[in-house]
Amino acid sequence: MSFDIALSGIQAINEQLNTVSNNIANAATYGFKAGRANFASVMAGTQPNGVQIGSVTQNISQNGSTQTTGRALDAAIDGRGFFVSVNNQGTTQYSRVGIFSTDAKGVLIDSNGNKVQGYGPTKNGALGAMGDVQVPTGQIPAVATTGVSYVGNLSADWNVPATAFKSTDSSSYNMVKQSLAYDSLGTQHTVSQYFVKTGTGKVDVYYGVDGAAPDTAANPKVSLTFDTSGQLTGTTTGTVTFTGTGATASSVKFDYKGTTYFAGEASTTTNRSDGYASGAFVGLSMSPDGSLVAKYSNDQSQVVGTVAIATFANEGALSAISDTSWVANAESGAALTDPPGVGLSGKLATGALEGSNVDITSELVGLMTSQRNYQANSKVLTTESQMMQALMQAL
C-alpha cells in the first residue's frame, strides 16, 4: 500500500511540474495567464490511497504588467474581458493579446491571423452590427465646401477709399483675405474677400474666385453693419457660387457672425471652411474607447468600427487553447460583449500590451518544493524496497 501511495505522489508531482514548467516557459508571453496544479487526496473506502492533481486553476483575474510599445494598433485591457476573434474554421476564441493589423482585404485581424470581432460604424448614435471589422483602405471621395466661417476685427480706423472698388486697385479697398473652397471633385479654389469701408460702421464685402475680378451679378456683395458697440447687426452672411471644371455648381455660404468693428489693427481669428479633397488611406489607429480611426492623406479621419470586449460569468472555467487564447464552454457561460469600458468590460490602454502574469520567483520556489517532495516520495519507495528485501532474506 505504501508503495502505491508514494508512486501516486511522484506521478502527481510530475503533473505539477508540467504546469510549473509551462508557466516559466511563458513568462515573457503577452497575455499569458499562469496556472496552478491543485493536489487532492485519494481514498480507497476509509483508507488513504495517495494523492492526485484534482484540478488546474487559471489565474485569469490577475492582470499582467502593462508594457508600452508605442504601436498604434496595440492595446491592453485594463480590467476584465477578452478580445474576440474568429479563426479560419469559424471558431470563436478569446484572448488578452491586443496585437492588431489589417489583412490584404482591409479586415482587422489579430497576431494569429484571426478576424477580430467588433461593431460597425456608429449611426444615429447607435453602434453598428457585431461582426468582422472592415477598414476602408481605398480612396475616400471629395466633399464640396458649403460654408466658410470668418471671424475677425474690421478696423474702425479704416478710411473710406477715395475711388470706386476695383480688385486690381489696392487703394480702392481696405483689406483682402483668401479662403479655400473645394468643388464636388475635390479641386481646390481660392475665394478672395475684398473688404471696403463705405461709412461709419459699414463695410461691403466683394467676392472673387480663383483670381478673377468679382462678378457682382453672379456673386452680389454683402453689406455688413456694426452698431456703436462694434457688434455686427443685420445681415451676417454672404453667398458665393462657382463651377469647377467638370464639377457640379458650388454654393458656399460665408458666415461673419462674431466679427467686430473696433479701433486698432484689423485681424482674423477664424477663416475655416468645410469640405475637403479626395484622400487615400494612410493608416489606422485605436482609441482608448476601442474605436478604430482610419486616417487619410487629406488630413481627414473617420471611425470605421469599435472592437468588442467579451466577459464571462466564470472566466476561470474557460478552456485554454493554443495561441494564448481560450474558448467558452458550459461552465464558463456564454460571452457577454460590450465596447471597452461599458458594463463589466475593462478599458483599453492603447500603444501597449499586457505582459504575462507569471511570478518567476514563486515558480522557482515551487520548483524547489516539488524537488523536495519528489525526493521524499522516492525515499519512501527506497525504504519500502529495502524492507521487502530484509523480509525476504529473513524467510
Tally of CB atoms within 10 A around 115: 20
- In this structure, which amino acid lies at residue 286? M
Report the length, in residues, of the chain.
395
Looking at residue 288, what is its pLDDT?
A: 93
CB distance 189 to 182 below 8 Å? yes
In whole angstroms, give the CA distance from residue 91 to residue 117: 12
**DSSP 8-state secondary structure symbol assigned to residue 158:** P
What would the grid cell of residue 296 be? Answer: 487619410
* pLDDT computed for residue 123 by the predictor: 82
pTM of the predicted structure, to 2 decimals: 0.77
The H or E element containing residue 58 is strand 47-58
Residue 207 has φ and ψ, to the nearest 5°, of -120, 130
Looking at residue 28, the DSSP 8-state letter turns out to be T
Angstrom distance (rounded) from CA 281 to CA 274: 20
**Are 282 and 296 within 8 A, CB to CB?**
yes
Residue 8, pLDDT score: 86
In terms of Cβ atoms closer than 10 Å to its own Cβ (0-12, 13-18, 19+), residue 263 is exposed
- The rounded distance, in Å, linking the Cα atoms of 42 and 378 is 19
Q: What sections of the chain are H helices per DSSP?
A: 2-25, 360-394
Residues of the chain short of pLDDT 70, as ranges, are 1, 395
Distances (CA, A) of 250 to 187, 189, 229, 246, 366: 11, 11, 35, 12, 75
User: For the CA atoms of the chain, what is the radius of gyration?
Assistant: 37
Burial class of 287 by CB neighbour count within 10 A (0 to 12, 13 to 18, 19+): middle
> CB of 263 within 8 A of CB of 155?
yes
Task: List residues bridging with 84 in a β-sheet.
Answer: 94
- pLDDT for position 1: 63
The pLDDT score that the predictor gives to residue 395 is: 66
Q: Which domains does the chain have, with CATH numbers?
A: 2-61+357-394 (no CATH), 66-140+280-354 (no CATH), 147-273 (2.60.98.20)
Answer for the pair 257, 232: CB distance below 8 angstroms, yes or no. Answer: yes
Quote the pLDDT of residue 2: 74
- The pLDDT value given to residue 180: 95
Q: What's the pLDDT at 9?
A: 83
The one-character DSSP state at 202 is: E
Tell me the C-alpha distance between 71 and 56, whole Å. 35
Q: Write down the pLDDT at residue 4.
A: 81
